[in-house]
Chain A
Amino acid sequence: MSSLDLVNIQKSFGPVHILHDVSIALKDGEFLVLVGPSGCGKSTLMNIIAGLEEPTGGQLKLAGNDITHVAPAARDISMVFQSYALYPNMTVAKNIEFPLEMRKVEKSARDERVKSVAKLLQIEHLLERKPRQLSGGQRQRVAIGRALAREPKLYLFDEPLSNLDAQLRLDMRTEIKKLHQRLKSTIVYVTHDQIEAMTLATRIAVMKGGVVQQLGTPHEVYNRPANTFVAGFMGSPRMNLAKAQVTDAAGGLVLEFQTGNAKKISLPLSEQFNYLRKYLGKEVIAGIRPETINLPAPNLDHKEQQRPFSAKIEVIEPTGADTQVILNFGGHEFTATLDPDLALSLGQETQFTVDLTKLVCFDVASETLIA
């Protein structure tokens, strides 16, 4: 358990820059999730933390000590690999024992540790089996067990759930979360799945093109995305992003959505958005979460920032828990997440409301959040 500091980490292969100046400071006990599309450099960053790759520039500190050029074995970091990387020639017990054996821990202490780890992960009955005799979920547990065995300063998880089927993935996700709550260990976790990131992290680093786009708590990243990439990446279904004109009407600012000859939609803004005044007469990119759009309901009407609009329903996709509807929103395709029990009719012009409390706006040129 320790703090981890990444200071201006860079990595390039010849002229190709994989990581540009990544700096992240992680406090003891934090659960950092590195998330991004494939090729964003998240796995490279993890390998650099593990010591399996050398950074081209920058510095790594673990618990205050510089480990930039320390060999992987000497870093006191454990890693859980995507393929689990269980040693096929060894039993489960031997696998868990291996890192301790390599560190010349005494046999009795090793056995003790294997037992307690197995108990913690409920794999005591599997100890004498070989990895090929285990199911996916059991292998995952053994891999975590091997990482836990030597009680390192830092744990790394490299997409550990991506080889599991959907149901098991949810279960293991919960288990990893529980484990972190119990052990209070420092964890760096790589995934491309934004839901995993949201559910597990105490902090999320959203990466793209070797650059950290945003580093923040799940709440910050979800509600105040730093740019349109983060806005679109985090959340499912995606946040609706559309260009809108900032205009002035009696009493305040108005956002106007229109493309082509579609019917214009105007949303009057409250004083909360007065910072948009400098964009008066210009365009911004407005971000509206699907779940903030609703059908008008009597009890919702009282909310101060509910704005009515009408739009045509183009597609209805029931998921069971809710229904996703694609609307023609002033010529833009907008997704709305609605109550599954509502009676909706396809192709109909319908009245909706949108809650603007969580509206975010981005600069058109830089695509960064206007605040």
Chain B
Amino acid sequence: MDKTLMSRVARVVLYLILIIMAIGFIMPVYVMIVNSLKPLDEIRSGDLMALPIAWTVEPWLQAWSKSQIGVQATGLKPYFINSFLLVIPAVVLSTLIGALNGYILTQFKFKFADTLFAAMLFSVFIPFQIVLIPMAKTLGYLGLAGTVKGLIFVNVVYGIGFTTLFFRNYYAAFPNELVRSARMDGAGFFGVLHKILLPNSAPIIVVTVIWQFTNIWNEFLFGASFSDYTSFPLTVALNNLVSSSTGVKEYNVHFAGAFIAAIPTLVVYLVSGKYFVRGLMAGSVKG
């Protein structure tokens, strides 16, 4: 066989493998979408892969605003809002604290800086379950039990390990002369952070925001443990929708609900996925 033919065959095989893999990944999404647009009896009788015969958006409306989750039949809407009220402050706070920690750990040569960083890094490896009871006590003590604020607090505390890791590694590779120059030019402690470091941290900010956003948005255990009917995040509400409904299991509504819950993280990835990969490289490789 001549060389060009060989390489062409290799290329075809390569694409075949990639296409099969892509189909494998996209299949669950397909199943979710297709079945969320069918009436319930079509799911029960037909196969999951088939396109709907009678197209309907009713399951989406059900999941969004009509199905019974809490005391009242409100759908996922209020919990969707809860999740945003939780995610936005938690992401902003944990990112800012991470940046501050990274700045202090890299720009001020103090004793035990590396030990302190190692200790903060260790928090990344602590399983959630271990801290449940102490955290419940702490929240009770602070008067934040069962509130969105309490969940913000938990997620910020838990996120600091990651955000510090990201920013510390990014700032360790940050040109030292810029910081020195700013200090000589008269910038103070927060001046350097605000005017020099943060404006030049776009890649690592993107990484941290995506990471924290998806983690906190998808977080279930803390949400289930530390919230009540008024403060459930979306993940807990979705679980309630799927597992606790009496009578008939409305699979089409469940599919629609799950998809609604996944939309914000999907949007975040689609908008900034490019930066995510780039930023991960910048942060980890150089550090």
Contact = CB atoms under 8 A, between A and B. Distances in A.
- To the question of whether A and B form a pair in one complex, the answer is yes
A292 interface: no
Residue with the highest number of chain B CB atoms closer than 10 Å, among A50, A51, A85, A103: A85
Interface residues of B, number: 17
Given A85-B177, A87-B178, A73 B185 contact: yes
A85 B175 contact: yes
A88 interface: yes
B191 A102 contact: yes
Interface in B178-199: 178, 180-188, 191, 195-196, 199
A87 B196 contact: yes
Contacts of A51: 184
Nearest to B198: A89
Given A72-B184, A73-B186, A99-B185, A81 B200 contact: no
A157 to B, nearest CB: 13
Contacts of A88: 178, 200
A146 interface: yes
A248 B178 CA distance: 63
A52 interface: yes
Given A87-B182, A88-B200, A89-B199, A102 B187 contact: yes
Interface in A244-288: none
Nearest to B188: A73
A345 B160 CA distance: 76
A79 interface: yes
A73 B184 contact: yes
A122 to B, nearest CB: 23
Interface string A60-95: 000000000000110101110111010111100000
A98 interface: yes
Contacts of B184: 50-52, 72-73, 75, 77-79, 99
A328 B185 CA distance: 56
Given A87-B196, A88-B200, A89-B200, A102 B185 contact: yes
Contacts of B188: 73
Chain A interface, DSSP helix/strand/loop, else mixed: loop
Nearest to B175: A83
B186 A103 contact: yes
A51 B178 CA distance: 15
A51 B184 CA distance: 8
Contacts of B186: 73, 99, 102-103
Contacts of A89: 196, 199-200
A52 B180 contact: yes
A12 to B, nearest CB: 16
Interface in B151-209: 175, 177-178, 180-188, 191, 195-196, 199-200
A103 B187 CA distance: 9
Contact of B180 (A75, A81, A90, A102): A81
A87 B182 CA distance: 9
B170 to A, nearest CB: 14
Given A88-B200, A89-B199, A102-B191, A146 B185 contact: yes
Contact of B183 (A73, A78, A83, A103): A73
B200 A83 contact: no
A79 B181 contact: yes
19 contacts: A50-B180, A52-B183, A72-B183, A73-B185, A77-B184, A78-B184, A85-B178, A85-B181, A87-B178, A87-B181, A87-B182, A87-B195, A87-B200, A89-B200, A98-B187, A98-B195, A99-B185, A102-B186, A103-B186
CB-based closest 3 A-B pairs: A102-B186, A99-B185, A85-B181
Given A73-B187, A98-B182, 8 more contacts: A50-B180, A72-B180, A72-B183, A73-B188, A75-B184, A85-B175, A87-B195, A103-B186
Interface of B: 175, 177-178, 180-188, 191, 195-196, 199-200
